Amino acid sequence: MQAVRMCSLLLLVLMSAVAPLCAQERIDLLQLTVIDSIRQPLAYATVTWYRSPRDSSQRLTDSLGLVSIQRRQGSGIRLKIEAQGFKTLERTLKGSDTMRRVILVMDYAPQSLAGVVVTARRPLMRQEDDKTIVDPEPVANSSTNAYEIMEKIPGVFTDADGNIYLGSTSPSKIYINGREQKMSNADVATLLKSLPPNAVEKIELMRTPSARFDASGGGGIVNIILKRNVRLGVTGSVTAGMNQGVYGNRFVGFNIARSEGPMSSYLNLQGSEREGFDDIISTRQVSTDSILRQTARTFQPARSFYTGFGMSWSHTKWEYGFDTRISVGGSENSSRNPTVIEQISTKKIVSANSNDVLNHARSVGFNQDFNLKYKIDSLGSDWQTLLTFGHNPGRNQQDIATAFTLPVVFNLDQQGDVQNTPYNLIL
């Protein structure tokens, strides 16, 4: 009897231990579908669900926007869904909700960027109408002055005298800020070497300039555009030199230019004196028994002087100015040409004469230019007027004296005098 009581007591204890386990709540599987406002599934959205403030889990939606989570039957949970470019969505499911599938719709989140910076490198050269535009920036970093930039531009050639060529045998004219530099190319090269490389805004190459530019030369035009804060100021140079042989050559030059504000001016002075000669000695057999001997000497002295000056003014719409050029030159060439014919067998002179020529040449050149330019619009359209007056008188006198001594004696004199006084007026 006592044994039966003990078995009943043990059975009661076991039932008391198993009862709580059998009374635990059931776990439900909840499927969530995350879509956007146009009902497209959102892949890899972050889904976080909270059973309590300290109990949470997190998973990602698959490629179809689906994710499955577990919750206790009858208990509520709080959902939080996050996705890039969408507003965060929060939703609470109560314990009384018996839904097994839930569709969650997320709204787009408009975003504003603080700023967008697009960086691009400009090309070194580009074609624009009748000219090639060169951007000096790519080669300015490896140059020490503006002249070195010119040396590094493809298709542009320079020489030791400061000349710049655009694929032609004739040197190009140099413009700075659209104004022709009334100085020698060597002086322009000196000016460019004094400018830093970052002073150049752009370079315009015109191999076949339009009718708005002077057509003389044929070597094209190089127009160097400087930055707005660059001022040339006052520049100048003095050159002198000589060389000496039997005779000597001497030259001297002075140049000064000023460019400040709306006004620019320049003054050039050049002078030279040259003395040269040619000696020709020749012996020719004119027959089987005759030799012609000829000895000729030509003396060629020449002197020249040149001055040029001008001023120009630039305003918002108008540009105007004048250029004056004066040159004076002269030469006195003389030549003496004695000729004899000698008989080879007897070494006897059978003919002798002397031909003397004396040339006197004088020339004066005067050219006056007036230019006016009106800028029509900001696109580069303009109206230009150029008035040129020129007077270039010259005179050339020639005396020829021929003296025969063998086989007969007589003299033959000839004289010539050519004068010209042309006037030119071009509009």
Q: Are residue 224 and residue 307 in the same domain, yes or no?
A: no
Statement to judge: residues 191 and 247 lie in one domain? no
Verify that 162 and 90 share a domain, yes or no: no
Amino acid code (one letter) for 418: V
Query: Does 414 lie in the same domain as 318?
Result: yes
For position 65, which CATH number holds? 2.60.40.10
The last residue of one of the domains, among 230, 254, 287, is 230
Per-residue pLDDT at 359: 92
Asked if residue 8 belongs to a domain, the reply is no
Determine, yes or no, domain membership for 110. no
What are the tens digits of pLDDT across the range 305-342? Answer: 999 898 888 888 888 989 999 999 999 899 999 999 99
Q: Average pLDDT in the 103-132 region? A: 80
Residues 202 and 79 in one domain: no
Q: What percent of the chain has pLDDT over 70?
A: 91
Kindly state the helix (H) or strand (E) to which residue 224 belongs, with its residue range. Answer: strand 221-226
Helix or strand run (H / E) with residue 206 = strand 200-206
Q: Are residues 339 and 280 in the same domain?
A: yes
Query: Of 305, 217, 330, 303, which is closest to residue 254 (Cα–Cα)?
Result: 305
Same domain, 63 and 141: no
> Does 29 share its domain with 155?
no
**Pairing, β 173-176 against β 221-226:** parallel
Buried b (16+ CB within 10 A) or exposed e, 385-399: eeeeeeeeeeeeeee
Is residue 112 domain-resident? no
Residue pair 352/343 in contact (Cβ under 8 Å)? The answer is: no
β-bridge mates for residue 127, sequence order: 132
Q: Say if residue 170 is in the same domain as residue 212.
A: yes
Within 10 A of 113 (CB to CB), how many other CB atoms are there? Answer: 5
Residues 183 and 262 in one domain: no
Residue 7 lies in a domain: no
Question: 301 and 207 in one domain?
Answer: no
Residue 217 has pLDDT above 70, yes or no: no
Q: Which of 172, 203, 230 is the last residue of a domain?
A: 230
2 domain-assigned: no
**CA torsion angle for 44, 50, 56, 58 (degrees, to 10)?**
-10
Give mean pLDDT, residues 60-68: 89
- What is the pLDDT, as a whole number, of residue 46? 92
CA angle 271, 170, 156 (to 5 degrees): 115
> Is residue 113 one of the residues assigned to a domain?
no
Report how many domains make up the chain: 3
Model confidence pLDDT, tens digit, residues 245-285: 888 899 998 888 887 777 888 888 989 998 888 888 999 98
Report the C-alpha gap between 174 and 189 in whole angstroms. 10
Residue 366: pLDDT band with limits 50, 70, 90: very high
Using alpha carbons, list the distances in angstroms from residue 102 to 42, 55, 99. Answer: 14, 21, 7
* CA nearest to 394, candidates 325, 305, 327, 347: 327
Averaged confidence pLDDT in the chain: 83
Q: Are residues 211 and 242 in the same domain?
A: no
pLDDT higher at 100 or 16: 100
Q: What is the mean pLDDT of residues 47-53?
A: 85
Asked, for residue 269, whether it belongs to a domain, the answer is yes
Domain limit, last residue, from 171, 195, 230: 230
Location of structure tokens 């000056």: 309
Model-wide pTM > 0.85: no
Which DSSP symbol is given to 20? H
Domain enclosing residue 260, as ranges: 233-427
**Residue 360 domain-assigned (yes or no):** yes
**Which amino acid belongs to residue 99?**
M
> What's the pLDDT score for residue 8?
61
Neighbour-count burial of 362, counting CB atoms closer than 10 A to its CB (0-12 exposed, 13-18 middle, 19+ buried): middle
Please give the Cα distance from 257 to 235 (Å, whole number): 5
- pLDDT tens profile 379-410: 667 788 888 899 999 999 999 999 998 888 88
Whole-angstrom distance, CA of residue 166 vs CA of residue 260: 30
The tens digit of pLDDT for each residue in 98-113 reads 778 888 899 888 776 6
The pLDDT value recorded for residue 131 is 87
d(CA 369, CA 219): 22
Mean pLDDT of all residues in 157-182: 83
Per-residue pLDDT reduced to its tens digit, 232-246: 777 777 889 888 888
Which CATH number goes with the domain that contains 210?
Answer: 2.170.130.10
- Using the CB atoms, write b or e for 48-84: b if 16+ within 10 Å: ebbeeeeeeeeeebeeebebebebeeeeebebebebe
